[in-house]
Each structure stands twice: as structure tokens, then as C-alpha cells.
Structure 1
């Protein structure tokens, strides 16, 4: 098997694993379908915006939960935003973490919210690493002429 074929197989296997392990859902496929020759960086650009926005929201969440008197409506609003943006790119595990986080907001459970924030940060970090690896594989394939 030549280098391009090997890269294609690695990319296909890696992509499949992202779906099998629940990192991505069909929304990511729909996002990829919007990319074409006129906008070859579309998915990378959208995901980069997601990363920037998520970093900001995670930081705001941490600040909001450190307050003496936690405003659970504000915390819930941040989690809701993060849930929406993760859903729009197909980041399934991040989205699920947001759903359980919102339940703790409804209950005004600070300990639960803090645990969920840590879980959300972990899922976000994993997702970011997985997508960065995916984009690197795609770039290697492009450079190899595949």
C-alpha cells in the first residue's frame, strides 16, 4: 500500500473511531457537506470558532461558580450556549456533559455544578485534541496529493 492509500486508511479509521466512541455525531457530517472547493477551510474555521467560544464560556463558567452567591441562571445560560454550539458542530460528548450540567443548575447544586464543570473541561479538551488530530491527518493527505 502506498503512502497516500495508507493515509486515507488512517484518516478513515480515525474518523470512524470518533463516531464509534461518541465524540462526533451526524451533525459533523452535515458540517463537512457544507465544505467545497470555494471554501475548503470551512470546517476548520467553524470548529476554530467553536474552540474560541468554548474557551471563553468555560472561563466564564469557572468565574460564575467561584462567586460567593452563585447566579445559577447565569451559569445555566453559559451552559446552554455551550450546549448549542457543541451540538451545532456535532461534539456529542461535550453536548451530553452540558445536559447533565444543566440538571445541576436546575437543582442549584453547587457541588454537582463544579463536578460537571470539570467533566465538561475534560470532554472539551479531549474533543479539541481529537479534532486537531483529524485536521492534521486531512492536511497530511492533501499535502501527499490525496
Structure 2
């Protein structure tokens, strides 16, 4: 079986980095990364355009990186909701890690090795779905663990949780809109 319409749509966007739809509705040449937005006739309805722009903004604002694109490339007719399922698994697993880190931050004295181990897992999970901002905050947290800075760990952990929550909301909205636009099936 071939890729779904959504898979074809993403591949067309990715394979044409030199063209995008300008704000005025015409085509424009791009200099930049391969997540520029292009449309074929099938993607010209307003809802599908909104999905494409939302997806692009997740990259432009630094929430996602190329790993997310690699996940999208694995999605096909046999597993049309693959990306959403992987992201859901990430959020299930990360809830456990957040709980473990919160408990470790409450214990005294702080066990920086254990905190670093938990955050290493969190960073790996974040990286596997392309959660760029979350991954970057995890890196900062681990640097505070290496420096044995309790204050830095607590402060940065709040940032990790904030970026985690923001991305979750954005991806939930994105997946919901994609389903409404008929791109997930």
C-alpha cells in the first residue's frame, strides 16, 4: 500500500523547499529549511491550509525539529495515526518521569545523579518525537545537575514542565485540526 494522502501531502511539502504559498496567495521561492508550505489542489481548502500553517509555525517557533518529520515519514496506510500515537506514548511516559523528578527534587539531600538519570530519559524521549524546546530545557537541567545547583535544577524544571505543557496543547490542537481536515486518514 502507498502512503496516505497526508503522507503524500507532507512529502510534497518537504520535497519542494524552494516554493511556498505567499501571504498574497501566489507562489514564492524560499531560501530556507524544508518545512515550507506548498499546496496542491487537494490542500487548498481553508482548513487544510490552516493545518499546514500550524505545522509550519511549530517548526518556525522552535517547538519541533526534523525528528518530527522523520516520524511523519513513517506514517502510512497501515498505521495512519502513527505520529499521534507516538506523541501520546511520549506524554504518558513523560508524566511518569515528571512525577519521579518532582519527588527527587523534594528529597534532601538532592541526589543529582538520580535527577540527571531521570532527565536523561526525559531528554531522550523528547528528542525521539522532535520536541526541540523541551529537549533544550532538559539539556539546561542536566547542566545544573552537573554543577550541583539545586536552585538551577528547580528553576529549569519549571521551564521543562512549561515547554512540555505548551507543546502538548499545540500538538493536541494540531492533531485535532488535522483530523477535521481529513489529513489523518
Q: TM-score range by the shorter chain?
A: over 0.9
* Mapping 1:75-90, distance limit 5 Å: 75-90=115-130
Counterparts of 1:68 and 1:97, CA distance in 2: 23
Of structures 1 and 2, the one scoring higher in RCO (CA 8 A, sep 6+) is 1
Flag as ranges the 4+ runs of structure 1 deviating above 3 A.
none
Structure 1 gap ranges (5+): none
- Would you say how many aligned residue pairs link Structure 1 and Structure 2? 143
Which of 10, 13, 16 is the equivalent residue of 2:56?
16
SS in 2 for 1:37: coil
Q: Which ranges of structure 2 fall in alignment gaps of 5 or more residues?
A: 1-43
Shift of 1:94: 0.2
Q: Does 1:56 align with 2:74?
A: no
User: TM-score normalized by structure 1?
Assistant: 0.94
How much does 1:70 deviate?
1.0
Alignment partner of 1:71 is 2:111: yes
TM-score, normalisation: structure 2: 0.74
Say which SS state the counterpart of residue 80 (structure 2) adopts: coil
Partner of residue 124, structure 1: 164
Match of 1:112 among 140, 149, 152: 152
Q: Does 1:136 align with 2:158?
A: no
Report which of the two structures shows the higher radius of gyration computed on alpha carbons.
2
In structure 2, what is the Cα distance between the partners aligned to 1:55 and 1:116? 17
Question: Which of 63, 70, 76 is the equivalent residue of 1:36?
Answer: 76
Q: Distance in 1 between matches of 2:118 and 2:171?
A: 23
RMSD of Structure 2 on Structure 1 (CA): 1.7
2-structure distance, mates of 1:142, 1:16: 18
